[in-house]
Amino acid sequence: MKRHYGWLITILIVLAICTWIALPISNGTSFDFNNDEEADWKIHQPLGLDLVGGLRILLQAQVPAGSYSPDELKETANNISRRVNSLGLSEATVQLQGESRILIELPGVTDPQEAVATIQQTALLEFVDFSGLGVQVAQLEGQTILTTKQLELQQARSEFEGVEANAAPVGIVNPLTGLPFETVVTGAALAAAAEQYDTQTGQWNIVFELNETGSDIFGPFTAEHVGEPMAIVLDGEVLSAPVIQSQLTDGGRITGDFDQISAQRLALQLRSGALPLPLGEESTEIVGATLGQESVRLSIQAGIIGVMIVLSFMLIYYRSMGIAADLALLVFIVLNLALFKLIPITLTLPAIAGFLISIGTAVDGNILIFERIKEEVRMGKPLNQAFEMGFDRAWASIRDSNTSTIIICAILFFFGQTPGASIVSAFAVTLALGLVLNLFTAIIVTRTFLSFIMGSAYHYIEKNAWTLGV
């Protein structure tokens, strides 16, 4: 019994915390650190485009139609998808439109210009050879230079815009050779990137790690050019040109005139990968929610009515055991709502549908347990023995059924990573989360509540089998 008291206290503490989080007065979780100031902690429950509206952007590839492959356009869409998901827009949809366009829908966007700038920018990071420039390095910082990689992109754009191929390229060339500066490696050589605040200098930097290909090129180059400057160039602009102090094989630091927002944006763009194709904004429009307030209200009412019917059925059919099941189901719902805010999970209609289906699976687990207990009672087993055997023997069925459905959810989530199919991922995530929580509520929470119910009225329930629905 002491074990059940321990579980009861744990359940009540978790329930109190999750209830506070799930309440509308609690607006969710985010962290806002301003140097040494105290963090601002809030909770945000993101809603999908079908519930709150948002921004719809149509981007056009800025290179001739025959100069790139469908795989390059698809990779561009994948990189955009990673960017918008990193922005916290986990239910953004990114889909291909024809052979040269990408359509993006962003739910609940409050700053369209910021979103478009982050998405559209190619974020071509280059490490450029500045060997031999001496004092001229300082004059080039902040300037737009012409590199071998930039020249390649400019020629592609010129062909797309109908400009003569021999038009003067944009950017300062190497004053020593009169040729474009040599690109050593691009951002494709990075394995990871993150913004970091340097407390000693009071500046924001980007710390990066190299992948295997980047190390193979970057390591030998830095070893041969110790003591020489190497420029860090973003979309043609020289951010800084530090002197190589030693061989770099694993990674390094990108310095420049960054504030927190620009450092976070650049780190995000580098993590998601440079866009293989330059994109131009063809159209942008603010869209309203596809579902009216009345439709949302009726959907919520339908969900509440459905839950009330389930609670009533369990209480009428299983009686004393139904009380434990109803309490456990309420705990299950509160835990789900709290996790939706903490993760956070963007609520769309498919996500809500997955949650409601998971409520049905939670009831299924209780039914398996209760029917097993009733069978043991009919066979003449003592109530306490029937109780233990019911939970022990139903566990395998609950575990296997939930596991098989979780595997299906994993498959749905995997295929939902394809641009334009994230709506499937929302359904899979909420359903899988409910299935995992069901393993806890059906076995631990229901068992704890039922133990106290039977402990307080054991002899009465044993003599009156109808209280178990037998």
> How confident is the model over 319-343, as pLDDT tens digits?
999 999 999 999 999 999 999 888 8
**Residue 195, both tokens:** 């913004």
Q: Report the alpha-carbon distance of residue 57 to residue 53 in Å, rounded.
A: 13
Q: Please, what's the largest Cα pairwise distance for the chain?
A: 100
> How confident is the model over 49-81, as pLDDT tens digits?
666 667 888 888 877 777 778 887 887 887 777
pLDDT of 15: 93
pLDDT beyond 90 at 290 = no
- Looking at the fold, whether 268 and 310 belong to one and the same domain comes out as no
The reply to whether 209 falls in a domain is yes
What percentage of the chain reaches a pLDDT higher than 90? Answer: 22
Which of 98, 120, 142 terminates a domain? The answer is 120
pTM over 0.85: no
93: confidence class by pLDDT, cuts 50, 70, 90: confident
The reply to whether 20 falls in a domain is no
pLDDT of 111: 67
- Looking at the fold, whether 142 and 263 belong to one and the same domain comes out as yes
- Looking at the fold, whether 300 and 385 belong to one and the same domain comes out as yes
The reply to whether 27 falls in a domain is no
Which of 274, 299, 334 terminates a domain? The answer is 274
Which of 274, 299, 321 terminates a domain? The answer is 274
pLDDT beyond 90 at 351 = no
Q: Report the alpha-carbon distance of residue 49 to residue 64 in Å, rounded.
A: 33
Give me the CATH number covering residue 189. 3.30.1360.200
- Looking at the fold, whether 321 and 429 belong to one and the same domain comes out as yes
- Looking at the fold, whether 342 and 242 belong to one and the same domain comes out as no
The reply to whether 104 falls in a domain is yes
> How confident is the model over 191-222, as pLDDT tens digits?
888 889 988 888 898 888 888 888 899 889 99
pLDDT beyond 70 at 308 = yes
The reply to whether 113 falls in a domain is yes
121: confidence class by pLDDT, cuts 50, 70, 90: low
The reply to whether 281 falls in a domain is no
Report the SS3 class of residue 53: coil
- Looking at the fold, whether 341 and 420 belong to one and the same domain comes out as yes
**pLDDT, mean of residues 410-426:** 75
Average pLDDT, the chain: 80
Q: Report the alpha-carbon distance of residue 29 to residue 340 in Å, rounded.
A: 11
**pLDDT, mean of residues 395-418:** 87
Total count of domains within the chain:
3
- Looking at the fold, whether 203 and 129 belong to one and the same domain comes out as yes
pLDDT beyond 70 at 122 = no
The reply to whether 387 falls in a domain is yes
- Looking at the fold, whether 309 and 193 belong to one and the same domain comes out as no
Say if CB 234 and CB 125 are below 8 A apart. yes
Lowest mean pLDDT among 94-108, 116-130, 401-415: 116-130
| 54-61 β-sheet, strand order | 93-97, 101-107, 54-61, 279-287
Give me the CATH number covering residue 65. 3.30.70.3220
**Residue 53, both tokens:** 């509206």
State CA 392 to chain mean position distance.
Answer: 37
**pLDDT, mean of residues 356-377:** 90
pLDDT of 32: 39
pLDDT of 272: 61
- Looking at the fold, whether 327 and 371 belong to one and the same domain comes out as yes
- Looking at the fold, whether 295 and 358 belong to one and the same domain comes out as yes
**pLDDT, mean of residues 90-119:** 74
- Looking at the fold, whether 97 and 131 belong to one and the same domain comes out as no
What percentage of the chain reaches a pLDDT higher than 70? Answer: 80
Give me the CATH number covering residue 400. 1.20.1640.10
The reply to whether 16 falls in a domain is no
The range of the structural domain enclosing residue 66 comes to 54-120
> How confident is the model over 248-279, as pLDDT tens digits?
888 888 777 788 888 887 787 666 665 677 77
- Looking at the fold, whether 317 and 269 belong to one and the same domain comes out as no
Say if CB 203 and CB 260 are below 8 A apart. no
pLDDT beyond 50 at 38 = no
φ/ψ of 64, rounded to 5, equals -55, 145
Report the SS3 class of residue 351: helix
pLDDT beyond 60 at 292 = no
pLDDT of 211: 87
pLDDT beyond 60 at 28 = no
